[in-house]
Structure 1
Amino acid sequence: MTDLSLVSRFRVEGMDCASCAAKVDTAVRRIPGVAEVSVSISTETMTVTHAPGADLKALVRQVGGLGYPTTPVADRASSAPAAEEGAAPWWAAPKARLTILCAAALGLAMMVGWSIPAVETPALLLALAVGLVPIARRAVSAALAGTPFSIETLMTVAAVGAVFIGAAEEAAVVVVLFLVGELLEGVAAARARASIRSLAALVPAVARVERNGGLEEVPATSLPVGAVVLVRPGDRIPADGTVLTGESAVDEAPVTGESLPKRKAAGDPVFAGTVNGDGALRLRVTASAEDNTIARVVRLVEEAQERKAPTERLIDRFARVYTPAVIAVAALVAVAPPLVAGGDWSEWTYKALALLLIGCPCALVISTPAAVAAGLAAGARRGLLVKGGAVLEQVGGLTAVALDKTGTLTEGRPRVTDVLPAAADERAVLSYAAALGAESAHPLARAILAEAQARKAPLPPSFGSTALPGKGVEGKVGGVPVFLGSAAAAGERAPLDDAQAAAVAALAADGKSVSVLVAGGKVAGLIALRDEPRADARAGLDALKAAGVTPVMLTGDNRTTADAVAATLGIEARAELLPEDKQRIVREMQASGHRVGKVGDGINDAPALAAADVGIAMGGGTDVALETADAAILHGRVLDVARLVRLSRSVMANIRQNVAIALGLKAVFLVTTLLGVTGLWPAILADTGATVLVTANAMRLLAWRGAL
């Protein structure tokens, strides 16, 4: 690369997997003058470093010939994914139109063949041509561009071979199934790209900035570093910043995963996309829109997806050797004996045709997807969703799993764990506290109210309830002045004795949030709350350990709470982590030799989910977590993580059996055909028989029940 090198950017449509990117990369590097190529699947873009004289029009034609429409873009901004408002539905895409047309042609050909048997074969050949001609054209383009044995080549050879031995109907069906698979892959990739763009929606469109002694609404993307903005209660914070004045509880769950709102006062940092609570805040912006927390999360997700090395399709790997080998052996069998030893041309041509049939990869093509489809169906019925066979294969090989705390290992909401009475009994303590916060939407107030209702504690009327930022809430319940809040604030109204202070300290050491109730000028009691572990969390973690998988907790929660929950579950904890910290730890685990799964349910988990070998979203998680992850556990059970590992290992064992069946039968009939013991019809039975056996074996997975 010289100082005169130029950089050009292109939008490349239709790339759905790593093999697509590899074909594009190989094709572009063959263009004279191209020095470097970088292809991004998640953003559908390509960056090319080239000499001034490189023929970029030829580059566009070359990539377009592979089936990926390519257009140059002017700058980096325009190469980012568009919002796609009003984008065409999936069924209107070129791949969808071809799939629908091919399937319709096959259905019509079958009906014509059933009503007029004499024209069945020509009708099937015409239906086959509808789908096979575009595939064959792409196979030729790929071969000319440096990828001679692509999956398109495999499909073309398989279909032509099937026609050659009279199985036109089978060839047409295989082509339709191939097109359907490509279509589904494209839809999934498009949804994943849309999920990345949706992260930006967390940042509000406008911000209220202080200018010339007043407030002015401006686009949040235009906020410069140093600007002062006002954030009202209930608004999303428009930028990373530092609090100048005001005090409020801020919900940081979108960024850190913190289970409870965090109090913010002058000097405290805040993050873009988090939600302001009960007080107005004045902030000084500390990062531009391009560098705020949400923007960094977007970049981390995209980078992690590009670095991830997903398992190549088994069929594509095998085709690199299998397809040319079969064609070469069949050709050799047809011509070598007659030319070298004077063999009968008719006899050896017949054997060559039989070898082509034996070599037809139909049984091999179905062996893996049949097992995967059955495994995916069995898992889906039990709330285990996996995005494709490559992911299902990887899950079984995991050696470590990093799990989020809030909403994953725990229920995701606080609940009352302890009620310690003092000047009043437990029911009275709950009654006063629930009545005081009956109209509040604060998670702690909701938890206390739920506990009071569960214990059938009375709910007397309250009057004049007022929130005291940073302290608690006060009012009158049944004519009695009542305060519920922090121990420090309660101590200003009624000093805690030594036993009460020790109880507060002990509860806090267990990671619990402690509220002190003061009624009529006396300490009435203590209420402790915590986000508790799921009922099956310990059993799920023990099942992972039994399967040889090491679990670890990664959480944005505070150290005390994390350690307390981890001790209960018997797991290592890493606490007070930001999204980039979680991603860094996942990469460190990978560098130490682990194959890592990441389990989480929030936006804050998205970078780590994307960076892990397998990302698993828990039920009830955010759309971003579900779309970024490779798999999802819909019922939110920790035990289901271990069940997913067991499912993967069962599927992989089934695939190995299927491959052995398919290749074993082919090997036997290969030898017997060359020896002249079997001919064309036994060869047909070898292929169809193997397909039947492989399918039947795969269907056994439908009976999988997920027992551990």
Structure 2
Amino acid sequence: MEKTFLLKGLDCPNCSAKIEEEVGSLSGITASAVNLMCQTLTISVDADAEAAVLPQIEKIVHTHEPDIEIIDTSHSAAQDDDEEEEEGLLRKQRLIVGAILYAAVLLGHAFFGLSDTVYLAVLVAAYVILGYDVVLQALKNIRHGRVFDEHFLMSLSTIGAFVIGEYPEAVAVMLFYQVGEFFQDKAVDNSRHSIKSLLDIRPDTAHVRQGNDIVTVPSGSVAIGSTIVVQPGERIPIDGTVLAGTALVDTKALTGEAVPRRVEAGDEALSGCISTDGMLEIETTHSFGESTASKVIDLVENAAARKAPMERFITRFCRYYTPAVVIGAVFLAAVPPLFFGGVWTDWIMRSFVFLVISCPCALVVSIPLTFFSGIGAASRKGILVKGSNYLEALAQVDTIVFDKTGTLTKGTFNVTNIATAAGVSKDTLLHYAALAECGSRHPIATSIMEAYGSTPDRSELAAYCEKSGRGICATWQGKEILAGNARLLQEAAIPFTENEETGTKVYVAVDGTYMGCLVIADEVKEDSQKAIAELKKKGVSQTVMLTGDSKAIATAIAKKLGLDKCFAQLLPAEKVERLEELDAAKKPGKKLAFVGDGINDAPVLARADVGIAMGALGSDAAIEAADVILMTDEPSKIPEAMNIAKATRAIATQNIVFAIGIKGLFLILGALGIAGMWEAVFGDVGVLILAVLNSMRAMRA
């Protein structure tokens, strides 16, 4: 069974990673994931072990973060934002007071020559104000057998600096460490609030019609089949079908599109959209929790739980890196004076500088923050990525495979050409075709009715017969009408001109005379060609189409769009086989993406490295099967998604190279005695702040 806990007050990425790892190792727990942005811990636990592991989870969490409140979301999931703001304000005030006290004592000593006792006392007071929580946390961790973390490194180096008489440097290290922590918390909070504001698309109340009255009730209590009323300017709380009214609805929160679309009676109305200029009465078709807005919120909030390989690398790296640098600092303090001579205090000071520089905060904070910022940037543009792992994989895509119908084409049949015989008008040809097809429910018949503009009265037909695989024979006002494929006219020995256009052809003859041909085709989307061209510019080496349609139609569309390959007349199982062949042939280290409508293509979406669902508004199958969901049906969103993925991965790589490179350089300088405590502060806190600021660029990717 799965349980989720709210870890109220969790802001530290490093602590999040440790909690996730230690909870996951408990007996009875098969999976553990901490979502820093949502402040949640989700576990998969055996039912018989649940009671035993809950106290252990609480102990692990409070070992790393004693002030965190653990809330079982099955009972309550509410967060007190006012309390969080109060805690943040208190921390800010403590930082300001400590900084002022530190600056005052340095200036006072420089200009007025304070006594050594006063000078030391004020510096100690400043240190306690700034660092008491860090030292206490280090002691608690040591008591629980967890030594090698940033609290231990900061406490050891600063207390050591006091011991050897480097008082101002000791306070400075703690001050700037807290400044770095403040920037870290602000960055995490900004990302969290940005996502929360983005996902504030689900109204808590709904106006339900009960007889002649309209009652406001919690959205979660509205039953399927209820009638809800949405006033102008209000968000639609639950998915449904419009019963009455017409309005332009703003879909930007779901799709990222700025242009509103009009809905009227019979149209689908999706939760999260805003009615801008009209009142709508909507019959609900989903529950509140299963509506589109709820699904979007759930997808984005849970995306941080699926970590990218780059994030997992950093977690593993820090697990070995921190103990290694502590052992290195011990050797640096003891080996040179013991075996090569030298002043003990000098080498001990170097070891403390070494410890300050070595703190891995920049890596632990910036990498997950970068990926979550990238997910947020994609969400704002109507691109939902289910996890950091899929965002990173999207940046490595080299082969993209497309379904045809509903992906590159609109998925609806339309009459694209009316080719008449000599002396026959287009209206006359359409009229006869509509008479013949008015009794059929086939999509081709529907497209003819739409082109004609109305549906003829079938009772006017004296006779009507469908000829399997060929077409229709009907009698109207004594005239025999034939409408169907070439075989139908050939069997009737009616001479006609065969049409060479791509598409489904309906040939029409009346009383043995050929009247003309209607060409019916699935139209290519306006931006499909542009999307393929953009993908090739982005370095995608192979674009392929898989379709169940005829070879002639598939080849024509592939040629028009500039696709590299196309495979036609495929059954669903054959699509999977073709995809596996393409996957086996892809370049080493590259990924393959499949783009489909998410309903008929679920097996292929699941098999691809990255499954992308097109036009997935309201589609349960798409949300389940795909890794990336495009909330509109525009192929041009794919290169946009790849741009965001590549920018995010590039920023994460920059942070890794920058942090490891600068720290490596400063560690060498510290060991050689060239870098002192002030340089160590930049090597730690400066790198952290710069890496965090760089991470925030991903929000604008």
When normalised by structure 1's length, the TM-score is 0.57
Identity %: 27
Cα deviation code 1:105-127 (max 9, x no counterpart): 73253376489879999899899
Paired AA for residue 629 in structure 1: A
Change (3 A) 1:601 1:490: same
Contact 1:12-1:44 at 8 Å conserved across structures: yes
Cα distance in structure 2, aligned partners of 1:518 and 1:415: 21
Contact 2:598-2:626 at 8 Å conserved across structures: no
Contact 1:124-1:172 at 8 Å conserved across structures: no
Q: Does 1:365 align with 2:346?
A: no
Cα distance in structure 1, aligned partners of 2:349 and 2:550: 75
Cα distance in structure 1, aligned partners of 2:77 and 2:180: 21
Report the Cα offset of residue 320 of structure 1: 3.5
Paired AA for residue 405 in structure 1: K
Aligned to 1:311: 309
Aligned to 1:420: 419
Cα distance in structure 2, aligned partners of 1:44 and 1:585: 37
Aligned to 1:514: 505
Paired AA for residue 529 in structure 1: I
Change (3 A) 1:584 1:309: farther
Contact 1:436-1:465 at 8 Å conserved across structures: no
Aligned to 1:447: 447
Q: Secondary structure of the equivalent of 1:532?
A: strand
Paired AA for residue 528 in structure 1: V
Aligned to 2:198: none
Contact 2:3-2:45 at 8 Å conserved across structures: no
Change (3 A) 1:95 1:481: farther
Aligned to 2:594: 598
Cα distance in structure 2, aligned partners of 1:161 and 1:597: 50
Report the Cα offset of residue 597 of structure 1: 1.0
Paired AA for residue 415 in structure 2: V
Report the Cα offset of residue 348 of structure 1: 4.3
Q: Does 1:387 align with 2:386?
A: yes
Contact 2:337-2:343 at 8 Å conserved across structures: yes
Aligned to 1:487: 485
Contact 2:353-2:680 at 8 Å conserved across structures: yes
Cα distance in structure 2, aligned partners of 1:375 and 1:646: 10
Q: Does 1:549 align with 2:541?
A: yes
Change (3 A) 1:690 1:124: closer
Q: Which moved more, 1:334-343 or 1:569-578?
A: 334-343
1:572-651 superposed matches below 5 A? 572-594=565-587, 595-620=591-616, 622-651=619-648
Cα deviation code 1:286-314 (max 9, x no counterpart): xxxxxxxxxxxxxxxxxxxxxx9963524
Contact 1:159-1:175 at 8 Å conserved across structures: no
Paired AA for residue 447 in structure 1: S
Report the Cα offset of residue 665 of structure 1: 2.2
Report the Cα offset of residue 588 of structure 1: 3.6
Contact 1:384-1:633 at 8 Å conserved across structures: yes
Aligned to 2:520: 529
Aligned to 1:110: 91
Q: Does 1:652 align with 2:679?
A: no
Change (3 A) 1:19 1:696: closer
Contact 1:480-1:519 at 8 Å conserved across structures: no
Q: Does 1:498 align with 2:498?
A: no
Contact 2:398-2:541 at 8 Å conserved across structures: yes
Contact 2:180-2:689 at 8 Å conserved across structures: no
1:326-341 superposed matches below 5 A? 326-337=325-336
Aligned match of 1:538 in 525, 529, 548?
Answer: 529
Aligned match of 1:689 in 678, 686, 701?
Answer: 686
Q: Does 1:322 align with 2:321?
A: yes
Q: Which moved more, 1:373-382 or 1:97-106?
A: 97-106
Q: Secondary structure of the equivalent of 1:525?
A: strand
1:40-55 superposed matches below 5 A? none
Larger radius of gyration: 2
Aligned to 2:65: none
Report the Cα offset of residue 612 of structure 1: 1.6
Cα distance in structure 2, aligned partners of 1:18 and 1:408: 39
User: Which consecutive unaligned segments of at least 5 residues does structure 1 have?
Assistant: 1-10, 32-36, 48-55, 70-89, 186-307, 454-458
Paired AA for residue 638 in structure 2: V
Contact 1:162-1:168 at 8 Å conserved across structures: no
Report the Cα offset of residue 653 of structure 1: 3.1
Q: Does 1:673 align with 2:664?
A: no
1:163-242 superposed matches below 5 A? 165-166=173-174, 167-168=177-178, 170-171=180-181, 174=184
Q: Secondary structure of the equivalent of 1:603?
A: coil
Cα deviation code 1:329-357 (max 9, x no counterpart): 23433454566567656544443333333
Change (3 A) 1:643 1:337: same
Contact 1:482-1:517 at 8 Å conserved across structures: no
Change (3 A) 1:681 1:38: closer
Q: Secondary structure of the equivalent of 1:553?
A: strand
Contact 2:438-2:458 at 8 Å conserved across structures: no
For the aligned residue pairs, the C-alpha RMSD in angstroms reads 5.5
Report the Cα offset of residue 408 of structure 1: 1.0
Contact 2:361-2:688 at 8 Å conserved across structures: yes
Contact 1:370-1:699 at 8 Å conserved across structures: yes
Report the Cα offset of residue 584 of structure 1: 4.0
Paired AA for residue 605 in structure 1: D
Aligned to 1:464: 459
Cα distance in structure 2, aligned partners of 1:643 and 1:584: 29
Q: Secondary structure of the equivalent of 2:401?
A: strand
Report the Cα offset of residue 675 of structure 1: 2.8
1:49-128 superposed matches below 5 A? 65=56, 92=73, 103=84, 106-107=87-88, 109-110=90-91, 113=94
Report the Cα offset of residue 517 of structure 1: 3.8
Report the Cα offset of residue 406 of structure 1: 1.0
Q: Secondary structure of the equivalent of 1:641?
A: helix
Q: Secondary structure of the equivalent of 1:607?
A: helix
Change (3 A) 1:353 1:663: same
Paired AA for residue 327 in structure 1: V
Cα deviation code 1:632-687 (max 9, x no counterpart): 33443334333433443333333333323222322232223223333223222233
Change (3 A) 1:173 1:182: same
Q: Secondary structure of the equivalent of 1:530?
A: strand
Q: Secondary structure of the equivalent of 2:690?
A: helix
Aligned match of 1:562 in 551, 554, 564?
Answer: 554
Paired AA for residue 389 in structure 2: A
Cα distance in structure 2, aligned partners of 1:588 and 1:44: 37
Q: Secondary structure of the equivalent of 2:90?
A: helix
Paired AA for residue 309 in structure 2: T
Cα distance in structure 1, aligned partners of 2:650 and 2:408: 30
Report the Cα offset of residue 160 of structure 1: 7.5
Aligned to 2:271: none
Aligned to 1:245: none
Contact 1:378-1:701 at 8 Å conserved across structures: yes
Contact 2:670-2:676 at 8 Å conserved across structures: yes
Contact 2:630-2:637 at 8 Å conserved across structures: yes
User: Which consecutive unaligned segments of at least 5 residues does structure 2 have?
Assistant: 6-15, 34-41, 61-70, 102-124, 160-172, 196-305
Change (3 A) 1:676 1:115: closer
Aligned to 1:86: none
